[in-house]
Amino acid sequence: MNIGETAELGSHVQTLDVERIRADFPILSQQVRGKPLAYFDNAATSQKPQVVIDVLSQYYQRQNANIHRGVHWLSQLATEAYERSRAVVQHFLNARESREIIFVRGATEGINLVAQSYGRDKIQSGDEILITSMEHHSNIVPWQILCEQTGAVLRVAPMNSAGELILSEYRALLGPKTKLVAVTHLSNALGTINPVHQIIDEAHSVGALVLVDGAQSVPHLHVDVQELDADFFVFSGHKIFGPTGIGILYGKGEILEAMPPYQGGGEMISSVSFTKTTYNTIPFRFEAGTPNIAGAIGLGAAIEYVNSLGIEKIAEYESELLAFGTDVLTQFPEVRIIGTAAKKASVISFVVDNVHPHDVGTILDQEGIAIRTGHHCAEPVMDFYDIPATARVSLAFYNTEDEINRLALGIEKVLKVFS
């Protein structure tokens, strides 16, 4: 393969000033093992712009106080910043009200909250919960636990060899026993974009609620929860250029109001006595104890940064980069891409003939190239393709074609070592 030719593949319209954007991310300027860092592990966690780092530092230097319960100036300042971030998330998702936005530790906790609050309250023995075969473990295990607790039955809608949900099979599994559908918006292991609007409409037609796992989609795609008519939507802050340990559960207000608390403690109560406790209104009912205040404020800053670039421009640029990377990797006869759905975003998973993905990742690391190798917390996906793991390149708007060309050179080195 002539690597010099890869830079000429296709016609790419520059929709973002990527070099300026890269300057906003301090970590990208460093070297790894003597080579410039090429960071392709964004589906695991994304890097943070300086503005987010600054907001976190400023909170601890100048605003640090507990929220909601204090009358002093610092507490009011912190409360205002925390609730401002809730409003930022509300507008980002186009939720009807800010009270529909619940701060959690991440998408995983959001899913568990729905399973243990809504699920244990509403799901009964013999009811069915429907997921898909491409789900992340965090959208499988909580429902298995709920089924064990309630006697409900877990159903799994299959996918085809391209990694696309077989909609006819999904439709056939829907019925009067289906009480909840939980589906990934964008597969972390395959890059597949699921037709969630259609999935939701068909679930609603049989009276089922729908939870959408948006952990991978919100950094790459425009999301409007009202347009989707999603009942629940979850995502994690650290995948959208924000801090770790913070995430969002969106739920329709009328559904959340009818749900019992997930955890007990301070803030989630209206009054407490030894004989009776009355619970707070939403969103506070689901935010027991002192929350990740700095993380919430940092998430707000991260979303405002994404908004300043424009999610549509991000999606356009990343789509072109994904096509470019796919073209480059498919020029290697020894490379097989896992997940070839017609609608994809941000992820290229692949295997190299006769080379374990961990060896691919180790050699690329020596070239300063960070990818993810393993089952990506999606073991059923690996089982479907009868492989132990994949090497995964996951993209963000700060990645470049030059970095993908370096990736190609790294794969050439892999092939040379194992030839």
User: What are the residue numbers of the active site?
Assistant: 377
Nearest Cα to 225, choosing from 120, 313, 97? Answer: 97
Nearest Cα to 291, choosing from 86, 67, 56? Answer: 67
List CB contacts of 251: < 8 A, sequence separation 6 or more.
Answer: 100, 102, 114, 231, 232, 233, 259
Rounded (to 5) percent helix, strand, coil in the chain: 45, 20, 35
In this structure, which amino acid lies at residue 197? H
In 49-188, DSSP assigns E strands to 101-104, 128-132, 153-157, 178-184
Helices (H), ranges, 115-221: 120-122, 141-150, 167-173, 196-205
Distance (Å, whole) CA 113 – CA 292: 17
Residue 221 structure tokens: 């795609």
Neighbour count for residue 372 (Cβ, 10 Å): 23
